[in-house]
Amino acid sequence: MRNIVLSTLMLSWLFASCQSEETEQRPNILYIMTDDHTQQAIYAYGHGLLDSTYFPNMDRLAKEGALFRNSFVTNSICAPSRAVLLTGKYSHINGKIDNVVPFNWDQQNYPKLLQAGGYETALIGKIHLGGKPQGYNFSLTLPGQGNYYNPEFIRNGEVEEKFEGHCEALIPQFVIDWLENDWDRSKPFAVNYHPKAPHRNWMPEEKYLDLYEDREFDFPDTFFDDHQGRGTAAKDQAMSIVDDMYWGWDMKFEKNPFTGEDSRLPAPFGRMSEEQLDAWRAVYEPANEQLFGDGTPGERPLREAPDRERLARFMYNRYLRDYLKVVKSVDDGIGRVLDYLEKEGLLENTVIIYTSDQGFYLGEHGWYDKRFMYEPSLSTPLLVRYPKEIKPGTEVQQMVLNLDHAPTILDYAGLPIPEDMQGMSWRQPAAGKKVPWRDAIYYHYYEYPGPHDVKRHYGVRTDRYKLIHFYHDIDEWEMYDLQNDPQEVNNLYGNPNYAQVQETMHQKLTEIRAQYGDSDELTMQFMNQ
Ligand code: SGN
Ligand code: CA
């Protein structure tokens, strides 16, 4: 009898230890993806825009984990980037080439594979793919772009509910609530935590309205770029801070300063209470008045010389400050979620990935927005914390893509990576291990005609060179030497000194298009769609 009791005890001990080993081997996944947050706005990337840590929680992830120096997207725009993340396939394969065409949720995606592999999954925040999310035990998503103030959310793809408050305070709270109340702790979790910020039009939380108002940001070197070194596409875009931003929506003026007309748009200001609007006016109006001095709005042609530089300085600073204010709220949210994980003893067994759906222009070339294959929008932040495998302060140099995130997450989860996923797992590079890696990345952008008038283009980038083909209503090539011209202002295409490089890059482009199954035929099909 005593033996039976002993062996039962032994067995249950063995079972318990196997189980705990198993749970330990299968980490939780916290995937944080912001909207339009660019590397230049993270101190840890060292681009020089920020003079110190503005966002301690993001910088903490970099310090305690890995910072990917060469992290890029395959199509620099919101919904397509999210479709690439979910499917691990290029836009021409998953079908979501731009923000407009519908996304097919019936196709395979990594959350479905995680679920089938024993994970509990949740999607909270912005997804921008329409339809009913598939692959999630729980979802609470913003409809489309969503709203900053008093936003609506859709529960499990079905019921729309309105919430009071700022979306960057609500989203992390929903993540914590789900973990606290709904997560089945017998399974590892995989949460997609997707803030809306810092998407246009950068509406700060009330408590941060004042933040950075006393800081003057210097123009980036290329702010007054005349686009002479490049082709038509860079000249014809509509994403100039000075010429294409709106006085109401972007600059937070209630009246157009040149015409005196009311520029208060129904959204987003219509969603705010009078108290909220008063708090806004207290911050923005004195600065607005200062800009115009004793001039009368509607009468002083400030867009004309000699005031253009002063106007540019004002617009650039308003833009940058508001952008950074909303990132601050995101950083707070990340801090709250990290604190929760720490308190629950979950921090060490969770792979935390911080990224954005693409990069963004913070005044480089005079621009905001994204879309181009130039570095600021082709790049996206990637910070990963997982102390079991990643040493603090790791810098990863390999060129990774958002295409790689699905295979990597499956790899961390110990699940097979389907053959038809096109990315590569960066789990080993993150752990500082050398594995065979790609020497070039492929890019293809399609949303033209569309907002900001960026022509369709595709191209290839190696560690040193970039070749781009702009097509549709133009047929132009550009090539850059990233080592000698990191700001990409000097188009080398057709330069006889670079004839050999050009030929090699053309070859690479042909090869990489074939490798990923893109072609002129497909490109034509999408053009006529
Ligand atoms: C809106 C914005 C654009 C932005 C697109 C796509 N205009 O149209 O500036 O490029 O979204 O953004 S706005 O006047 O409505 O703010 S994306 O991140 O969803 O791709
Ligand atoms: Ca985006």
Beta-ladder partners of 32: 193, 354
Residues with CB under 5 A from ligand 2 (ion): 35-36, 78, 357
Q: How far is the CA of 454 from the centre of ligand 1 (A)?
A: 13
| Domain match, 346 and 491 both | no
For residues 170 and 40, state if they share a domain: yes
The answer to whether residues 84 and 199 belong to one domain is yes
CA atoms within 13 A of residue 469's CA, in its CB half-sphere: 16
**Whole-angstrom distance, CA of residue 222 vs CA of residue 215:** 20
Of all protein residues, the one whose alpha carbon is nearest to atom 19 of ligand 1 is: 78
Ligand 1 atom at minimum distance from 369 CA: 10
Nearest CA to ligand 1 atom 20: 78
In sequence order, the β-bridge partners of residue 469 are 458, 477
Residue 264 is predicted with a pLDDT of: 67
Q: How far is the C-alpha of 393 from the C-alpha of 432, rounded, in Å?
A: 11
Residue 42 lies in a domain: yes
Other C-beta atoms closer than 10 Å to the C-beta of 102 total: 11
* Ligand with the closest atom to the CA of 142: 1
Rounded to whole angstroms, how far apart are CA atoms 358 and 85? 11
Total number of domains constituting the chain: 2
Q: Is residue 216 part of a domain?
A: no
Cis peptide before 198 (omega within 30 of 0): yes
The answer to whether position 295 is within a domain reads no
Domain identity same for 427 and 476: no
- Which numbered ligand comes closest to the C-alpha of 372? 1
For residue 278, tell me if it sits in a domain: no
- Single out the residue in 415, 434, 453 at which a domain terminates: 434
pLDDT of residue 18: 41
Give strand pairing partners of 354.
Answer: 32, 383
CB 322 within 8 A of CB 41: no
Q: Which ligand is nearest to the CA of 358?
A: 2
Residues 336 and 397 in one domain: yes
pLDDT in tens, the chain (529 residues): 444 444 444 444 443 444 444 445 799 999 999 999 999 999 999 999 999 999 999 999 999 999 999 999 999 999 999 999 999 999 999 999 999 999 999 999 999 999 999 999 999 999 999 999 999 999 999 999 999 999 999 999 999 999 999 999 999 999 999 999 999 999 999 999 999 999 999 999 999 999 999 999 999 999 999 999 899 999 999 999 999 999 889 999 888 877 778 776 555 677 888 888 889 889 998 888 777 755 555 555 455 544 788 889 999 999 999 999 999 999 999 999 999 999 999 999 999 999 999 999 999 999 999 999 999 999 999 999 999 999 999 999 999 999 999 999 999 999 999 999 999 999 999 999 999 999 999 999 999 999 999 999 999 999 999 999 999 999 999 999 999 999 999 999 999 999 999 999 999 999 999 999 999 999 999 999 8
Ligand 1 atom index nearest CA of 249? 14
Query: Which residues are CB-neighbours of 32 under 8 A, at least 6 positions away?
Result: 193, 194, 195, 334, 352, 353, 354, 355
Same domain, 127 and 32: yes
Is the pTM higher than 0.85? The answer reads: yes
Q: What pLDDT does residue 14 have?
A: 42
**Is the CB of residue 28 less than 8 Å from the CB of residue 189?**
yes
Q: What is the domain-level CATH number for residue 451?
A: 3.30.1120.10
Residue 492 and residue 418 share a domain = no
The rounded distance, in Å, linking the Cα atoms of 162 and 142 is 10
* Structure tokens belonging to residue 354: 């911080």
| Domain boundary, last residue among 434, 465, 500 | 434
DSSP H helical ranges for 361-417: 375-378, 405-412
Residues 362 and 464 in one domain: no
Ligand sitting nearest the alpha carbon of 445: 1
Distance 78 CA to ligand 1 centre (A): 9
167 CA distance to ligand 2 centroid (A)? 16
Q: Among 33, 127, 145, 249, which is best to mutate for testing ligand 1, by the most ligand atoms less than 8 A from CB?
A: 145
Whether residue 424 is found in the same domain as residue 517: no
- Is residue 287 included in any domain, yes or no? no
CATH number at residue 427: 3.40.720.10
Is there a single domain that holds both residue 343 and residue 462?
Answer: no
User: What is 133-184 written as a DSSP string?
Assistant: --S-SEEEE-STT--SBS-EEEETTTEEEE-SSBHHHHHHHHHHHIIIII--
> What distance in angstroms lies between residue 145's CA and the mean position of ligand 1's atoms?
8
Residue 69 located in a structural domain: yes
Task: Give the number of whichever ligand sits closest to the CA of residue 360.
Answer: 2
Number of the ligand 1 atom closest to the C-alpha atom of 145: 19
CB atoms within 10 A of CB 348: 13
- Alpha helix positions (H), 245-352: 274-292, 308-343
Q: Which residues 6+ apart lie within 8 Å of 111 measured at CB?
A: 86, 121, 123, 134, 135, 136, 190, 192
Mutation pick for ligand 1 pocket among 199, 246, 372 (CB with most ligand atoms within 8 Å)? 199
Domain co-membership, 76 together with 135: yes
Query: Which of 381, 411, 434 is the last residue in one of the domains?
Result: 434
User: Is 41 in the same domain as 178?
Assistant: yes
In a domain, 272, yes or no: no
Domain of residue 167, residue span: 27-203+319-434
Expressed in angstroms and rounded, the spacing between residue 26 Cα and the centre of ligand 1 is 38
Pick the atom of ligand 1 nearest to 246's CA: 14
Residue closest via CA to ligand 1's atom 15 equals 200
Cα–Cα dist 509/80, whole Å: 21
Strand pairing partners for 154?
141, 160
Lining residues, ligand 1, CB within 6 Å: 35-36, 77-78, 99, 128, 145, 199-201, 249, 369, 451-452
In a domain, 248, yes or no: no
Calculate how far, in angstroms, residue 200's C-alpha sits from the geometric centre of ligand 1: 6
Cα of 304 from ligand 1 centre, angstroms? 28
The Å distance, Cα 197 to ligand 2 centre, comes to 9
* DSSP string over 271-292: GS-HHHHHHHHHHHHHHHHHHH
Q: How far is the CA of 33 from the centre of ligand 2 (A)?
A: 10
- CA 358 to ligand 2 center in whole angstroms: 6
